[in-house]
Amino acid sequence: MNRNNRRAVATAAILLLCGILVTAQEKSKPAPPKMDQQAAMEMMQKLATPGAGHKKLDVLIGSWTTKNSMWMEPDKAPEVTEGTSEHRWTLGGRFLEQRYEGKFMGMPFSGIGYTGYDNYKKKYVSVWMDSFGTSMMNMTGSFDKSGKVLTSTGRIDDFTTGKVATVRETMTLVGNDEVLFEMWSPSPEGKEYKMMEIRYTRKK
């Protein structure tokens, strides 16, 4: 056996030994204590109760008009449209429901979204569906230290490339009567670009 082969065998043996040691350590770890039924019920009730994370979304409740800018390509002028959006709490204040009506590419466009705060994950979670597709977009995010900007990320199927793309969105609470929503996605070259902007103005 030449020197290179001996070295390869020795490396494989070391990796195998490390794997055995890690497995042995994992097996030797004590199992976490099982939560009794009473404690489980109390934890479930705590996690199911809306709290401060949900309260941050109260500012969105109500009726809004929207001005939408959509960039189909990074170097093209956006398509600008208008719409309306209704926001209300559902399921006892656990999820914020959004119902949007407008136009896109000259056609009627409707969308429904739900946003909530996952007490267990300590993250904001949302799902969006609309009349221009049959899939749902799921996002997860957090507010910044100011409590004004919620940044979320998610993954969507890009039918133009056959790949899964990562998208990023921000919701900025400009004030009680103004909200700015922005979304970025990869361009055909793979670079992130701003594809959508929606300015919400509260109806008086």
Give phi and psi for 26, each to the nearest 5: -65, -40
Q: What is the pLDDT of residue 39?
A: 87
Are 164 and 181 in contact by the 8 Å Cβ rule? The answer is: no
**pLDDT attached to residue 190:** 77
Q: What are phi and psi of 176, to 5 degrees?
A: -65, -25
For the chain, domain boundaries: 3-48, 52-202
pTM, to two decimals:
0.80
pLDDT digits (tens, 9 = 90+) for 48-91: 999 999 999 999 999 999 999 999 888 899 999 999 999 999 99
Supply the CATH classification number for the domain 52-202. Answer: 2.40.128.20
pLDDT for the residue 8: 44
pLDDT score, position 34 = 78
Low-confidence ranges of the chain (pLDDT < 50): 4, 8-18, 20-22, 24
- In the prediction, which pLDDT does 20 show? 43
